[in-house]
Each structure stands twice: as structure tokens, then as C-alpha cells.
Amino acid sequence: MEKLKVEYVPTGSIRPYQGNAKLHPREQIEQIKESIRLMGFRDPIGVWKGEIVEGHGRHIAALELGLEEVPIIRLDDLTDEQRRAYTLIHNKLTMNSDFDFEILSEELDNILSFDMTDFGFDVDEIKECLDDKEEEHQRNRDETQFTKANIENLEYAQFTGAGKYDIPVILPVKELPEIKEWISFNYVLTDPDPTGKAVHFFIDDYQFERVWNNPDAYLDKLKQYVCVASPDFSPYGDMPIILQLYNHYRKHWCAAYWQMNGITVIPTLRASTDDRSREWWLDGEPYGGIVMVSEMWANKQNDAETSKAMNDEIIEKLNPCKWFVYGKGNKEIYEGMNVEFIPTFTEKRW
């Protein structure tokens, strides 16, 4: 980075940039002039080919004070576009922060020889800001205490846990009325008519994190559907095992909470490609009920073999009465089973 070099030039030899968007009201110019009188001209003006880039207010003050010369730094290495951008950036960045009013108040208390009100420091206003900050701090403290009490949604509900990790239990659903269409959760809020429809979560996780972050917000809407699949928080095999387990827990907590609030929930079953998940991936799932799985990821031979192994484990441990399968899937592994295939959005579209 090129070192800056301060030089002094005649005040009238540099000219303002006519495209300068920063306003310099009279009050500010007077404050700059007073600062120069008290402290001297301590901040060089940035100049590009004789034209001011930053420091227009200081230049006006210098002219009005009758200063014969001013310190500058040359910015001639900038392109015209860079010069225009820097003019705006420099002015905007000075506006993008505020004072720490507690420290500011202490600093002002130690300045006795200058009248800081001449520079816009209003002591009464600062005290008022301090009071407002204290009230805000108290509110934040109260909210933080609530958040701690409600950590991981435990204040909303706590459920009977299954397995060594206390995974909330989902109750079985063995019968459903006819479902005319499955839609993904990201269409729920704009769906004008939920009649006869069901909701799945085979979409990117970020689109439904909100059901965990704000559990009550979607209850009334989801109650209008025939059924809702448990949210498919992803247990990716390359995640740390604790995050895979956490997502399994969140899926079950939401499902149990929805059931507690009168929503019909169909469990979404999914293990990760991490073999360690096989220890707990079916903990909390219902026995003898309807289940839902996705075949979207089982597009290779080894994936299909893994999918069949998981389905065999589901049959052995849960004995489902019916399967909903999202995607075309490998229909051979579902032969002889009570299965309903659900077309993906792409399949329905094309």
C-alpha cells in the first residue's frame, strides 16, 4: 500500500467536486471553524487532480477563516470511478456508527476548558440517551432471562423420551381421509385452500427452520390440512454426529408439539449415511402406523441398497400399516407393501 504524503498547498488552488452529495449546513461549517481555531487544521483534505474528494467542509471553513494554505494528501492514483466511489464511501462511513454514551458522558465530564456544546454535544440529550440505553438494557436482560428459561423450546413443552437420548415420541396414525395433493411447507402460507391437502418438508432446511424457532406461529394454519409430515431436519452424514442427533430431536419435538395441538402428524423416517445414526434414527417413531420416506437421494446402486436396508429395519422395528414414498423411488423394494407414491414438484410440473 502506497504511503501517504501530507503536503501544504494554497487554499484557493484546490476546487470542490461539483458532484459532492454530502451536505454541509451552516451550523456544521461554524463548528469546523471553531475546531480549527482551537486545535489547528489536523485533518488533511483528500485531493484528486486538483479536485477535492473528501474534506469539502474543512475547505469551506479554511476559506472563511482566511487560511492561506491547507494540508492535503493526493489521491491521483485513483481512477475516476474509484474517486467517485471513495467520495461517497468516506462520507457514508462517518455516519455509520454512534457513540457509546456511557463512555462519552465520562469523557465530557473530564473536558473543562472547552464548551463542547459548540460542537453539537448536548449534555441533556446524552443523559436522556443514557436513560434510554439503560431501559433497553433492562428489557434485553428480561428477554434474555426468558430465553434462558425457554431454551430449546422446553418452556413450550417437554415430552416422554424414547431411547438413551430422550427423543420425543410420535403417536401412530393408522387411518387418513383421502389426500388429493401433497404440498411442500414453503407454500403453506400462500395456499388459499388447504382442503384435502397434506404438507411435507422435503425442501431445503432453511425454508422451515421457523417451525422450530417460532413453534406457535404455524399451528392454526397446519391444523387445516389432512395431515402434516414431521419436519425433515437433515441428518447429513458429513455433519458431526451431535448435529445429526439434534436434528432428529428437533423433528420429533415439533411433531409431538403439533400432535399435542391437534394436528395429524405422519412421521418422516430418515437415517443419515453415517452408520452411527442407525443406533437412534428410529427412536421415538410410532409402531404400526403410517410412515413417510423420501427416495430423492437414492439414485445410485449403493444408495438403493442402503435404502432397502433401512426399509427392512423400518419393517422389523415399526411394522408400518402404510407407506408414503416421496419421489419415484426404487419401486421394486416396496413390492407387496401398502405404498402410495407422491410425485415431486418437478414431476408434477413436467
Are 252 and 284 in contact by the 8 Å Cβ rule? The answer is yes
Are 331 and 298 in contact by the 8 Å Cβ rule? The answer is no
Residue 242: other Cβ atoms inside 10 A: 8
Give, in order, the Cα–Cα distances in Å from 253 to each of 28, 139, 159, 163. 58, 29, 8, 14
pLDDT in tens, 265-306: 999 998 888 989 999 999 999 999 999 998 875 554 446 677
pLDDT in tens, 22-56: 889 999 999 999 999 999 999 999 999 999 999 99
Are 230 and 251 in contact by the 8 Å Cβ rule? The answer is yes
Give, in order, the Cα–Cα distances in Å from 9 to each of 44, 46, 68, 225. 11, 12, 8, 76
What is the rounded average pLDDT of the residues 86-109?
Answer: 81
pLDDT in tens, 239-274: 999 999 999 999 999 999 999 999 999 999 988 889
Q: Alpha-carbon distance 227 to 343, whole Å?
A: 17
pLDDT at 105: 79
Residue 203: other Cβ atoms inside 10 A: 15
Mean of per-residue pLDDT scores for the chain: 88
Q: Alpha-carbon distance 201 to 268, whole Å?
A: 9
pLDDT in tens, 78-91: 999 999 999 998 88
Q: Is 244 helix (H, G, I), strand (E, B) or coil?
A: helix
pLDDT at 120: 81
Helix (H) or strand (E) holding 3: none
Exposed / middle / buried, residue 342 (Cβ in 10 Å: 0-12, 13-18, 19+)? buried
Question: According to DSSP H, which parts of the chain are helical?
Answer: 26-39, 56-65, 80-93, 101-109, 123-149, 210-213, 219-222, 241-260, 301-318, 345-349
What is the rounded average pLDDT of the residues 305-332?
Answer: 87
Judge whether residue 345 has pLDDT over 70. Answer: no
Judge whether residue 108 has pLDDT over 90. Answer: no
Q: For the CA atoms of 326, 193, 223, 247, what is the dihedral angle to 10 degrees?
A: 40
Are 71 and 10 in contact by the 8 Å Cβ rule? The answer is no
Confidence of residue 349 (pLDDT cuts 50, 70, 90): very low
Contacts (Cβ under 8 Å, ≥6 apart) of 231: 185, 201, 208, 211, 212, 250, 251, 254, 255, 268
Judge whether residue 111 has pLDDT over 90. Answer: no
Tell which residue, 212, 320, 194, has the closest CA to residue 266: 320
Q: Alpha-carbon distance 277 to 244, whole Å?
A: 8
Helix (H) or strand (E) holding 118: none
pLDDT at 301: 45
What is the rounded average pLDDT of the residues 146-155?
Answer: 72
